[in-house]
């Protein structure tokens, strides 16, 4: 069981490793991803790899999308959340990371791999006489797809069981520990877990019974569900995998790096050209030939100068460099246009930092990236709600987690417009100057509220929006903002004056 891997995962290992390596970068990446070109010697290729460089477009795209996703307002209803959830939001991992920071990290990993897995576990710090007196920490940790060995789902798409590989290091005792890094395997089911600690007699051997020694640990959680769930970059119907944000971009990024390396070779050859000197009737090894070589840099060519040839420099055709530069620019444009963040790229390309893309291009890019961000936000919201559901089960709280509607504890944004607070205020002023219906003015004021006070509670938001709904289009309303229900109107005051005058005349 421990040696097997799901067939679909087995075929994706190389792809996932490449995506992670391309995102992280580093000098080791060039050793595996810079390729020799035709008629290139081993020495020249090794030197070219040492000089290789790249701009990490894969990381840039992932970080830009992540920045836009969390730029919007994420509302967490702390008033109605149970105590365990409030505590979990403050400390979501064993390293005491907050939920906001943790979800940003989860979002990045999901963008890189397409789908990652999250485990919600519980560690008991001290045992009391009751559940309330027992101190425990409910925490979460992420699992990359390379460490998911196998799993099974039922007809509803829920996990029956999942087998996870965990990386461990023997480093408890600084004197007796070996410091070796190995693996242990954890099997989660809907009622319990089993941990297999494996030791190989021969590190080069496999999982043969004669070569394996292992210890087993088991525990019961009785949650009724497997405390593991997946998080997709974008909500997908796939059972085992999901499309990655950089699934195609990473390969374009690699092509761009190889073209840059080829361009570097051309620049080197163009700058340090090969000198060719006529050496009539002198063969290599003769004294005259050696003196000619000493006159140059010892990296020169000689040729028969019987026809009166002159010394000259040999260098590649500069048109080849122009072709490579054009190809690199085209690839970079396609990378950022495919995501919809080409505007950011034009800002960086422009020495003045000015976005020189057209208005039509901005509109198309906005529609593309807005659709991407809405889908990604929905995926992250679903993941956080599933996390909350598992937290309440570990805490033993009888709390029904709403997965949709206004009763949700977490609301991710569904609109990622680019208008700032000043834009909204300017629009409000322009609408006020027009003869616009009061309903339009109310709607615009609600947009201003979201920009002006993005982090107020849901209760405070409802109070302000209720006050906005009570506004009318009278002059008093324009001066005071809205009319209190107990304030006498001008018409009512005039009627009272008329009644008083009539009663006075009668007397």
Q: Distance between CA 375 and CA 74 in Å, rounded?
A: 15
β-sheet bridge partners, residue 230: 117
**By the 8 A CB rule, do 241 and 145 touch?**
yes
CA dihedral sign of residues 16, 18, 22, 24:
positive
Closest CA to 198 of 184, 178, 211, 188: 184
Alpha-carbon distance of 90 to 92, in angstroms, equals 6
- pLDDT tens digits along 283-313: 555 554 454 444 444 455 555 665 666 766 6
pLDDT at residue 313, as a whole number: 66
Asked if pLDDT for residue 507 goes beyond 70, the answer is no
Query: What's the token pair of residue 212?
Result: 């394996």
Query: How confident is residue 321, by pLDDT bands cut at 50, 70 and 90?
Result: confident
pLDDT, averaged across the chain? 81
pLDDT at 213: 76
Interatomic CA distance for residues 189 and 152, integer angstroms: 10
- Please calculate the CA angle 433-468-412 and round it to the nearest 5 degrees: 105
Transcribe 166-179 into DSSP letters: EEEE--SSTTT---
Find the mean pLDDT for residues 364-385: 88
Return the SS3 of 138.
Answer: strand
The residue whose two tokens read 């995926």 is 379
Contact criterion met (CB below 8 Å) for 49 and 329: no
210 or 461, higher pLDDT: 461
Rounded to the nearest 10°, the torsion over CA 168, 169, 170, 172 is -90
The predicted pLDDT at position 39 comes to 78
Decide if 58 contacts 113 (C-beta within 8 A): no
Residue 5 in tokens: 């891997």
Give residue 66's pLDDT.
Answer: 94
Q: pLDDT, tens digit, for every residue of 89-136?
A: 999 999 999 999 999 999 999 999 999 999 999 987 655 455 455 567
Does 424 score more than 80 pLDDT? no
Residue 347 has pLDDT above 70, yes or no: no
The secondary structure of 272-314 as a DSSP string is: SPEEEEE-TT--TTSHHHHHHHHHTTS-EEEE--TT----EEE
The two structure tokens encoding residue 292 = 């000619």
Which of the residue ranges 76-85, 167-176, 338-347, 452-461 would you say has the lowest mean pLDDT? 338-347
pLDDT of 350 reads: 44
For residue 111, what pLDDT is reported? 97
Q: Secondary structure of the chain: what % helix, strand, coil (to 5)?
A: 45, 15, 35
User: Which percentage of the chain shows pLDDT scores above 70?
Assistant: 73
**Residue 416 Cα to chain centre, angstroms:** 16
When pLDDT is cut at 50, 70 and 90, the band that residue 29 belongs to is very high
Q: Which range, 55-64, 284-293, 471-480, is most confident?
A: 55-64
Bigger pLDDT: 282 vs 411: 411
For range 45-73, the mean pLDDT: 92
Among the listed ranges 63-72, 101-110, 236-245, 431-440, which one has the minimum average pLDDT value? 431-440
Beta strand 115-126 with 228-232: parallel, antiparallel or unpaired? antiparallel
- Interatomic CA distance for residues 466 and 504, integer angstroms: 42
Lowest pLDDT segment from 16-30, 349-363, 388-402: 349-363
């Amino acid at each position: 069981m421990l040696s097997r891997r799901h067939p679909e995962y087995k075929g994706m290992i190389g792809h996932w490793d490449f995506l992670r390596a391309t995102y992280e970068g580093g000098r080791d990446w060039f050793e595996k991803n810079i390729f020799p070109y035709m008629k290139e010697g081993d020495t020249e290729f090794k030197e070219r790899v040492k000089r290789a460089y790249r701009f990490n477009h894969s990381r840039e795209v992932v970080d830009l999308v992540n920045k836009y996703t969390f730029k919007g307002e994420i509302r967490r209803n702390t008033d109605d959340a149970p105590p365990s959830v409030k505590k979990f939001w403050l400390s979501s991992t064993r390293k005491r990371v907050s939920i906001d920071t943790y979800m940003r990290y989860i979002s990045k990993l999901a963008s890189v791999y397409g789908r990652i897995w999250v485990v919600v576990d519980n560690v008991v710090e001290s045992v009391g006489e009751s559940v309330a007196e027992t101190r425990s920490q409910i925490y979460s940790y992420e699992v990359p797809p390379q460490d998911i060995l196998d799993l099974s789902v039922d007809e509803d798409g829920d996990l029956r069981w999942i087998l996870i590989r965990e990386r461990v290091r023997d480093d408890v005792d600084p004197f007796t520990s070996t410091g070796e890094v190995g693996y242990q395997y954890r099997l989660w089911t809907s009622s319990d877990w089993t941990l297999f600690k494996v030791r190989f007699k021969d590190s080069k051997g496999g999982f043969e019974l004669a070569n394996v020694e292992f210890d087993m640990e088991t525990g019961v959680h009785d949650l009724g569900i497997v405390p593991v769930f997946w998080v997709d970059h974008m909500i997908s119907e796939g059972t085992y995998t999901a499309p990655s944000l950089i699934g195609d971009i990473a390969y374009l990024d690699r092509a761009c790096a190889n073209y840059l390396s080829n361009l570097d070779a051309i620049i080197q050859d163009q700058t340090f050209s090969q000198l060719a000197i006529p050496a009539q009737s002198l063969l290599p090894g003769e004294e005259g030939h050696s003196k000619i070589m000493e006159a140059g840099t010892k990296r020169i060519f000689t040729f028969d100068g019987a026809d009166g040839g002159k010394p000259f420099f040999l260098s590649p055709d500069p048109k080849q460099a122009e072709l490579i530069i054009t190809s690199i620019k085209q690839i970079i444009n396609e990378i950022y246009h495919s995501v919809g963040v080409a505007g950011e790229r034009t800002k960086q390309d422009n020495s003045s930092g000015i976005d020189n893309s057209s208005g039509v291009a901005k509109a198309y890019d906005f529609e593309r990236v807005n659709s991407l961000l809405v889908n990604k936000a929905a995926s992250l919201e679903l993941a956080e709600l599933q996390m909350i559901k598992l937290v309440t089960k570990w805490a033993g709280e009888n709390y029904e987690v709403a997965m949709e509607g206004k009763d949700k504890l977490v609301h991710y944004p569904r609109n990622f417009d680019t208008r700032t607070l000043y834009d909204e205020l300017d629009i409000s002023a322009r609408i006020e100057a027009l003869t616009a219906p009061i309903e339009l003015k109310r709607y615009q004021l609600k947009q201003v509220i979201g920009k002006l006070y993005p982090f107020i509670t849901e209760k405070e938001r409802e109070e302000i929006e209720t006050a906005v709904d009570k506004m009318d289009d009278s002059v008093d309303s324009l001066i005071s903002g809205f009319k209190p229900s107990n304030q006498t109107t001008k018409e009512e005051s005039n009627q009272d004056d008329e009644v008083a005058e009539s009663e006075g005349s009668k007397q």
